[in-house]
Amino acid sequence: MESQTQVGVDPAPTERESFTLTTCDEEESIGEPEQQAKKLSLVKSPPKKEKRPVVKSKKTWKELRQREPSKESSHTKFYKRDRPQDEFHEVTRNQYLSISESISGSSDTFQCVHGPDGKQYTETGLLKRNIVKNLDTIPVDPKWHDNCPSTFEWEMSEKLAYMVQSPTVEMQTERLKVHLQDYARTSSGGYRIDKLKSFCVILDYLMEQGYRNPALREERVMLLENLKKPILLTASADVYKSEMARQLSLDFEWKMSEKLAYMVQSPTVEMQTERLKVHLQDYARTSSGGYRIDKLKSFCVILDYLMEQGYRNPALREERVMLLENLKKPILLTASADVYKYFEMIMDFLGFMGYLLIKIEDDKLFDVVSTAILWHLSAPDSVRGPGTVPLRYSLAAGAPVLRETTVRMLAVASPHRFPTFLEIALLLACDTVENCIEMMKENIIENIFYRFNPYFPERDLPNYDVNPWDCQDPNVKLGASSVNMSTTLSLLLVLVKTTKQYLDENPSYRKLLPYPDCYAQRCFIWAYRYECRAREHRHQRTTLTVIAAAMIKCFGEKLLLFSSILMPDVMSLAVLTELPPRDDWTATVNFNTSQQDVQFKKVLIYFVVDLLKVFPYNKFMVESQHWLLGVMYLLDPGLCSLRSRWSPPLFAELRKTALQALVCTIPLCDRKLVKQYGLMRRLMWYIEWYSEKPYEIPVLYWCVRLLQIATLHSHDPERRVVMQDLFNTHGIIILIHLCYVLMEQKLPPVEKSQAVIALALRLLTSGVAANKRISCCVYPNIKWPASVNALAKKMLEVVLFSLDKHFIVSDRWLISLLNFIWEAIIWKQEYRAQFVANDGIYKLLDMISMTRPPVQCIALALVCDITRAGDAVGQLVSWRAHLGASNASPMVVKRGATIASLLAAVFRECCQSSGVKLNEYGVIQDLECPIVSTEARNSVTKIDELATHHTTPVCPAAADMAGSCMPKAFAILHMLSEDLEHRVTLADEAYNLYENIKLAMEDEVILVLCSHYLTLKLSEVWRETKLQNVQMFVKDDAILDDFLAVGKGWAKEIKRQQEDVIARDKKKEREEECSLYAFLGRIRLNIALDALRAVRCVSRSTDRHRVTHALIHDAVFAHHRRSLFAKKTNTSLLRTFNPPLDDQNITGQNVKIRSIHPPNQPKKLVHGSATVSQTSE
């Protein structure tokens, strides 16, 4: 408390006061000023017990200022004379200045400035102290505060801060020096937390202006040395203010960057080399943890000077290296929002680092900068730490400023610097798709291919240089891309994969994308050949093949050297293990039967297929390079001894790959090659072998698929030849047997087996056109075409069972099955009758009720053809949907639905899926285009363009009917209602299951629309004709307008009919409702009458007046009857009949009463009953 009081009393120093601390004699003893003060005092205080003096190590400023001067001192002395007296006597300074004596403060607490004896009060002071009751506090042991710095000493920091900001500070150098020495001694244990701001002001002056005055260098060093000590607290609560203090200290240190930036831009910077060097060292130490985000601009200015002008002054090399080393640290944030506020500054900072990569000539400094920029683009956030710029922002800021620099430097950088730019490009490419596309616009692939040149930069790759003679020679020189092959492959893979995906989404951009020139392609081919020979069984050659295949898909025919040079080499490599070695560089390529070489061989085969698709004019190479022969060696089981010894699993992979390649290449090659190489015989051997010993289903699928491709020819003569070969090898019988085998393996067949069955059915459908009969002794039960009905019946049963149990059934299988039934059975009367007799119509309708629209469309087409033949009217009329239809998802109709309900449901679903505008009941809403689909509406706009350019006219209305279920439903309904009405009437008379069946109102409304489908389509065709024929004769135009008006009238009439159906149904519902209400009314009247009687009875029985009157009336009549009977009979009454107890006989009753026996009392052995004779009194 004493320290706080003294700070409050002592005023701040001014320029008029003298602050000289050396006026007193240093050898004077400690007790002399106190004794002199006692002698000169006008009133002496009461004597106190003498204490042992405590020797102080130093005098405080306040103590020296307030003590009285000695006799030997040169200080000003004050004398006073009272008015009545003539003599003068000496007084104190405070008395002269009329400063009253302070009565506050303790004498022995917290190292009091009055000394160990405490403050000596005068009588006036004691009297005043006692009046205000200001007592001394309890003294404490001096040991508690001997080592604590005095409060008054810390006030020196504020006074020094005021002093260094004064304009006259340069004229007080000696005084400032003394004060700084005292302040350095005061802060030798550390700076106090509440004085840090003043300290920063002082030190700022010493660092800025102190160099002009070398006399202050020693004091500056002393203050800087004290920075190593901890920050002192004045109270425990100050610890929460320490963050602000730390921030003030950091702000002062970081201001050095701005001052250095100003300094290096000054014209006199070369004359301040020593000062600049010291500042740079301090700044390097400050930024050892990273550069702050708001000081990046200043740092770039400083480093730019060091890189531009610093080479003239070798003395700054060490500082330059120190600043560059700090680039490896993260960018520090002052607040979380700084990353958005200073984003452009981060971009400029990373761009400046890219500039340094180009500017720096020293490879060691280049390595420092390259390590730093790679760190900024790759270091994860966990390594960067909190309060730094995250990785995603570094990549986002660096991409725009580094992409162009990186791509161009890849073409010209030295071999030592090439890996840095390669890694930067890889990091940017892995970040976003935009970076990849932008670098592809700069033709980065061409620059990378250039660096495959082993003679760079001396000369270009010669045309005659195919490959090194000995790839294992350690003296072989390689290009920079080959030396850094791992990074090069990673970058190329990312680029080509991203570009391929982007071009698939934006095909129009393919023409604008630049491609590698012929020289770059030649360099790549040179490197590809080298990798195939030198790397042996490693992944590099496989990866390069994948990259080349992706480039073919991206650039296509632009890669001309791939067609003339690379394609023959790849074809030879693909079948290298199946054919004798060639007399060229491919003979030195090493192949074995390991997994990695199998993968390489598969990639080569796929690459050949891609090359044939892009360059179809090179199809002659299939024979010239013996590629097809080598693939046949992989397929023919009789050539096992000539092949390499592949393990069975690896050979299965190669065989499947060869089948896939042939599926793609056979349509591109000459059709004669199929018969020339005996492809049909080899494939049928594989297919038949599956029935004997099943193998992988994917291999079987590709065998059947290749067989189908081989039979697909556009020219009839060639097709007949191939189909004849299929019949000669009993291929039809083998395929039918294969279908039975696959269906017997599992019910239903697995999804892959369903795909094989679908392909087999398509082949069988193709065999129908041959119109031949065939049988086989191996499978005597199968005959062609007699077995088609049995096969169709078996498959339909499997399909319906699978659909009923909700198993997975492929639409491909269902469509192939329906197509097979259509062509092999429905179009032939004999087989059609057998199919109908086997409940074929029921099965087709059941399939329609449980499948999706594509299958429904073909099934309805089959039903149309059968109905047109007139063989299935009875089955159509009597068909009812079974339980599986209700359980299907999505549900078409419910259980028990008829053919009319099924047609209405199919027509309604087709309207909804195609975008026809109907309301909730199915009434048409658009009278202009009532049943036009959305796709047809969109095609109408194109009709005007076609008419303008006089191209071939199109008819969207007709095209819309091909894949729709609506025309099929209309055809069946029309035949049942019009064409075959007499047969339907006869069938309905026999079964009574069609005309008298009530339909739902929604189904009836849809059937009205379905019955007029052809009329509405005709109106739609007229409308399209109007649009296509722009210029017509006037009369033709008027006639066409009349047709359109008639069509619109038809639409209105159809809509009216639909609304009549709805109105009739609602009227019928109202009539039924009124009838129901009338019936309920009649029933409720009878119930109301009975209720009224009951109410009246209850009313009479509960009314007291009525009850009393009735009781009296009954009593009178009872007495009268008794008197009459008594007069008639005087004899006693023999009771032989017990009359019932009713309201007509209420007297003389014998009532048998049975009491309810209590459960806790024993039963009494008393038999009989009690008779009570009720008599009226």
Start-end of H helices in 1103-1173: 1104-1128
- The more confident residue out of 971 and 141 is 971
Residue 768 has a pLDDT of 81
pLDDT tens, residue by residue, 971-985: 888 888 877 777 777
For the chain, how big is the Rg over CA atoms in Å? 56
Q: Indicate the pLDDT class of residue 603, thresholds 50, 70 and 90.
A: very high
CA distances from 332 to 281, 293, 379, 457, 778 (A): 19, 6, 14, 41, 84
pLDDT greater than 60 at residue 654: yes
The structure tokens listed for 830 are 């004999």
The structure tokens listed for 611 are 């090359």
Residue 1168 has a pLDDT of 40
Mean pLDDT along residues 379-396: 90
Q: How far is CA 272 from the centre of its chain?
A: 57
The structure tokens listed for 1082 are 């009649």
Mean pLDDT along residues 256-265: 82
Q: Indicate the pLDDT class of residue 508, thresholds 50, 70 and 90.
A: confident
Mean pLDDT along residues 300-324: 82
pLDDT greater than 50 at residue 849: yes
Percentage of the chain beyond pLDDT 90 is 16
Q: Indicate the pLDDT class of residue 639, thresholds 50, 70 and 90.
A: low
pLDDT tens, residue by residue, 726-747: 777 788 888 888 999 999 888 8
**Residue type (1 letter), 641:** S
Would you say 813 and 759 are in contact if contact means Cβ atoms under 8 Å apart?
no
* Spatial separation of the C-alpha atoms in residues 377 and 396, rounded to whole Å: 9
* Spatial separation of the C-alpha atoms in residues 1021 and 1016, rounded to whole Å: 9
Start-end of H helices in 484-620: 485-505, 518-534, 540-555, 560-561, 567-574, 595-614
What is the full DSSP assignment across 1019-1057?
Answer: HHHHHHHHHH--S--HHHHHHHHHHHHHHHHHHHHHHHH
Residue 833 has a pLDDT of 87
Residue 457: asked if its preceding bond is cis (omega within 30°), the reply is yes
pLDDT greater than 60 at residue 1149: no
**Residue type (1 letter), 709:** I
Would you say 214 and 257 are in contact if contact means Cβ atoms under 8 Å apart?
no
Residue 785: asked if its preceding bond is cis (omega within 30°), the reply is yes
Give CA torsion, residues 650, 656, 662, 663, to 10 deg: -160
pLDDT tens, residue by residue, 194-229: 888 888 888 888 877 666 677 888 888 888 888 888
- The more confident residue out of 253 and 557 is 557
φ/ψ (deg, to 5) at 876: -65, -40
The label of the residue with tokens 């000493």 reads 153
DSSP state of 530: H
Residue 140 has a pLDDT of 55
pLDDT greater than 50 at residue 898: yes
The structure tokens listed for 235 are 């109270």
Predicted model pTM: 0.66
Residue 748: asked if its preceding bond is cis (omega within 30°), the reply is yes
Residue 1026 has a pLDDT of 78
* Spatial separation of the C-alpha atoms in residues 362 and 478, rounded to whole Å: 24
End-to-end CA distance of the chain: 119
Task: Specify which residues 79 forms β-bridges with.
Answer: 90
The structure tokens listed for 139 are 């003294």
* Spatial separation of the C-alpha atoms in residues 409 and 112, rounded to whole Å: 75
pLDDT tens, residue by residue, 15-69: 333 333 333 343 334 344 444 444 433 333 344 444 444 444 444 444 444 455 5
Residue 983 has a pLDDT of 75
